Amino acid sequence: MTVTTRFAPSPTGLLHVGNIRAALHNWLFARQQSGRFVLRIDDTDAERSEERYVAAIRADLAWLGLTPDAEVRQSERFALYQQRFDALVAAGRIYPAYETAQELDLKRKILLGRGLPPVYDRAALTMGDAARAALEAEGVRPHWRFKLDHDAPIAWDDLIRGPQSFDPRTMSDPVVRRADGSWLYMLPSAIDDADLGISHVVRGEDHVSNTALQLQMFAAMDAAPPRFAHAALLTGAEGKLSKRLGSLGVDHFRAEGIEPQAVVALLARIGTSDPVEPVADPAPLIAAFDFARFGRAPARFDEGELAQLNARIVHHLPYAAVADRLPTGVGEAEWQAVRPNLTRVAEAADWWQVIEGPIDAPAQDEATQAYLAEAAAVAATIDWSGDAWHALTNALKTSSGRKGKALFLPLRQALTGRDHGPDMAALLPLIGREAALARLTAGR
């Protein structure tokens, strides 16, 4: 059996961090098992689905490196849904129901008021043909429900949550089709999973009850169900569910200068027993992916942790990976020099300005100005083809008697305008002899 996973977003909005995590889990498992990762666009809701969101979903997955092996769209599969629907109606597993939304809401309130679970009472199953015909003659069209088998306990071994069990008598027969003929999520999803040979469904724990219902749908269609894995949901840094998580997506991460590798590295590991590491290549994440390492506690997503991870990844990015995002003139030597001081690639532009100039060096007292004049005289005599920085500072240490901060800080300030920054041994040759001499004498 070829392992086949799927990511099934609805194109009614942009992907958020929770969606991205689900897509990543499915992609990682498929790649680890040398299987297939399918993108299924769940666009049965014609009114809310938009092509711009379909394009955005594809672009977001591409930015993250989660390339699907195939793509299908539910809007192109209605004939298949109708075929399966008709068969289930004929088999008595789907039946029409005529209650209005108001009537159903009243029934729920009555049950809750009695301290009972708000389970649908199956009144539609007792309706006679004459009553149905009378309603339809009045123009009332039914919605359609899947009839659960109350005699068959629902159980499965979840790859993350372990043994799961549901009593179908405590569950309402789910509505699978609206009165206007449009489809709800449950049945088309099960039909697609069976038809596309989906072997594993990896999704959030908010779908656990959906899985219980869909397992009976697979059985009714005489189709082998996939294996299921339900991951704990994300929480915010404050330790509880956060609406902000629903607004964090690829556009936000890109605007913040976050690398896709950082998003992938964090989302692959949070909620598991594995440490979060600055992994720029997904190969180690693929190799280590294991449902047994997922915990049941909510997974904590912290933007501060993501920013720190991003900086660590930037420190290891090769020049070729960032060259097209660097200012004109920044080559591999410049990148290697400034990279350890960056938290985001875009910050390289600030250090390129330091290298190219002009800079705004702080004013210095007379003693420091004299020291910098001495430094300029020494800099004019050293060999710039070698290690100019250590040649300069070693000579000044002897001639001036300075050491430590008193030796180094005035030089850094005069040469870069900053108190801190990249290793001066790497930076000084990039600034160059003439610019360095001019900066050392600029305050006189």
Residue that is written with structure tokens 């697979």 in the block: 218
What pLDDT is recorded for position 240? 65
CATH of 357-440, one of 3.40.50.300, 3.40.190.10, 1.10.10.350, 2.40.390.10: 1.10.10.350
Spatial distance between the Cα atoms of 360 and 349, rounded to a whole number of angstroms = 16
Spatial distance between the Cα atoms of 432 and 334, rounded to a whole number of angstroms = 12
Residue that is written with structure tokens 């990039």 in the block: 430
Please provide the DSSP assignment of 364-393 as one string. --HHHHHHHHHHHHHHTTS-TTS-HHHHHH
pTM: 0.91
What contacts 31, CB < 8 A, 6 or more positions away? Answer: 37, 282, 286
Q: Can you list the alpha helix ranges (DSSP code H) found in 196-256? A: 208-220, 250-255
What pLDDT is recorded for position 196? 98
What pLDDT is recorded for position 241? 62
Do residues 424 and 411 touch, judged by C-beta distance below 8 A?
yes
What pLDDT is recorded for position 291? 97
User: Which ranges in the chain are annotated with CATH 1.10.10.350?
Assistant: 357-440
What pLDDT is recorded for position 246? 80
- 10-residue mean pLDDT profile of the chain (444 residues): values are 96 95 98 98 94 98 98 98 98 96 93 93 93 91 97 95 97 96 97 98 96 98 98 84 80 96 97 95 97 94 96 97 96 97 97 95 94 96 95 96 96 96 96 96 76
Peptide bond just before 9 cis, omega within 30 deg: no
Burial of 414 (0-12, 13-18, 19+ CB in 10 A): buried
Cα-Cα-Cα-Cα torsion 66, 69, 75, 79, nearest 10 degrees, comes to -160
Do residues 444 and 373 touch, judged by C-beta distance below 8 A?
yes
Class at the top of the CATH hierarchy for domain 80-177: alpha beta
- Give the largest Cα separation in the chain, rounded: 110
What pLDDT is recorded for position 238? 72
User: Which ranges in the chain are annotated with CATH 3.90.800.10?
Assistant: 80-177
Spatial distance between the Cα atoms of 119 and 112, rounded to a whole number of angstroms = 10
What contacts 56, CB < 8 A, 6 or more positions away? Answer: 14, 15
Do residues 412 and 386 touch, judged by C-beta distance below 8 A?
no
- HSE at residue 369, side-chain half, CA atoms within 13 A, is 8
User: Does 243 appear as a known binding residue?
Assistant: yes
DSSP assignment, residue 173?
Answer: P
